[in-house]
């Protein structure tokens, strides 16, 4: 069964500043999370609950609710020291 994808307001706003070329790749990765929310390329975050997946210089941060079959995207940021805070 597929997972429902929810993109929080903050992540949606961050995505508006991403160039179109990168945005297409990010959208494909997000759609793929609905089928497999824990792909081999994903990593579990250590200081926060959730996971991250890398798309070029961008990181998609998300949580998974297996009971409700939902993936919640809460950040889409370029990689920096502040990405995971």
pLDDT digits (tens, 9 = 90+) for 60-84: 999 999 999 999 999 999 876 665 5
Instruction: For residue 14, tell me if it sits in a domain.
Output: yes
Q: What is the pLDDT of residues 6-56, one digit of tens each?
A: 999 999 999 999 999 999 999 999 999 999 999 999 999 988 889 999 998
Instruction: For residue 83, tell me if it sits in a domain.
Output: no
Residue 13 lies in domain: 4-78
Strand arrangement of the beta sheet that strand 43-44 belongs to: 4-7, 70-78, 58-65, 51-55, 43-44
Please tell me the predicted confidence (pLDDT) of residue 1: 67
- pTM, 2 dp: 0.87
Contacts of 22 (CB under 8 A, 6+ apart): 55, 56, 57, 58
Domain total for the chain? Answer: 1
Please tell me the predicted confidence (pLDDT) of residue 28: 94
Please tell me the predicted confidence (pLDDT) of residue 29: 94
């Amino acid at each position: 069964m597929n997972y429902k994808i929810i993109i929080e307001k903050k992540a949606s706003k961050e995505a508006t500043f991403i160039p179109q070329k990168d945005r297409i790749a990010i959208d494909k990765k997000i759609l793929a999370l609905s089928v497999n929310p824990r792909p081999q390329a994903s990593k579990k975050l250590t200081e926060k609950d959730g996971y991250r997946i890398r798309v070029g210089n961008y990181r998609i941060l998300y949580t998974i609710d297996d009971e409700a079959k939902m993936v919640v995207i809460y950040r889409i940021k370029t990689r920096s020291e502040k990405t995971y805070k």
